[in-house]
Chain A
């Protein structure tokens, strides 16, 4: 991970974060160009926190955000937001946001933003790329979530085009990105109705996007990896394994913990998968608050055997502050 001669940011919407922990937690560089804005809070002994903002609280047509992040070995960086990212209507150019993160040996990166909110007729492409060392020492916790739009204004998946992509690559011994190997690629396309062209194509897709979403108004993916988050990853896997069987008897012989779990998962549907060293959690919710509460419960490791000190690993290691997007 050569970070010595990184060029300064010049292009509109570009940014650079270089976090280090030697001799103490600090941002060696933090640069950004309008319309991107980065704010760092005073680094604590636990981690360095940076807020990713945009002017006006959202991205307008044609905005192109390009953020490069370097996390030095054994350094902990959290990237958060201060409210949902609105994606304003975009008649023609696609709005895009690309975040490329290079993780050093034993480093940790938390990406816990508020949800994306694609407005009607918006076009958006988000790419989040992570380069991790091939020794499985890096830790990653990523939340990628999206709502249907401004529900109160009658927007229910009324976007034109939406794509999010999370890619993780492992880099070799030399640390170069060229020979990096694709480990996981999580891509989601939501194709809006006006992109179909003719009604027949829309029919062949299985109907309008809103009806294809079948009552889901908020969706979330969590990617978890690394030794630091093993406790959380195990919790997720166990939670899914012990999920009440679908179609089986319910509410019979339940104990208090099971009742709490059932209350928590009302209005959400989730799956957990172990894929290539990751734990991938996917949650669908009938409304954003339910998803918020459920994801918070998951990260706090609730509903199963209580974690040490009654706090989940994220809270113990980073403090409650990093979960602000889940506070509601």
Chain B
């Protein structure tokens, strides 16, 4: 078996070298296909992060009546923390509310000086697991003893959630489309490479090579090409991150624009895997026609 592995490795290397142009064509096709896919994936990650950071800011504010008894306040706490939709509940006392208020308007002392620290109500701030649940949760809390008013983003938030939903759907469609395009492009390149060597395959069949013996070098080649393609695509995306996204992030601080190097490495392995899977299946499928003699 050791001898055969030698043969396969020799054959793969010499075929890749002998058909430099075909190899280049194949590698660049794979790179471009995977680059497209990678860009959509990275773009998707940035967008998803942005969208979740907006959604994460959605909170319910449950303002408490000044005359609410400590029992009523405690009961609201127990009720809200017990709800399955609720992620976290913070209590903000009148004093904390005033501090926050002073902090918000620290540049305009005139406004803060005229406000009685007691004028601001104590409240519960409720973080939800799914921002879409804001309305039903709010209506359940509305009118509970001790609750003055429940506020949530309302219309504006609904619009935001609708928008983020659309963004997510578009992302999924874009990934499916680019993945499909990558599969077609790569499979087609493999088919061209095999077609260019159909004579060789015919002779191998005639002198009695088994189908696996014919297939393995093609699969090796497909794998090497896919790996090179994934490497090139990931390198380009990494360059795009360093010179594009990172600089943009420095300029626009309030949006989470960039992706970590770790997620680029994860993406490289994803692209590598996709490339290899397509390479192996593509060459096996494309060879079937030529092996049926």
Instruction: Determine if chain A interacts with chain B.
Output: no
B→A interface (CB under 8 Å): none
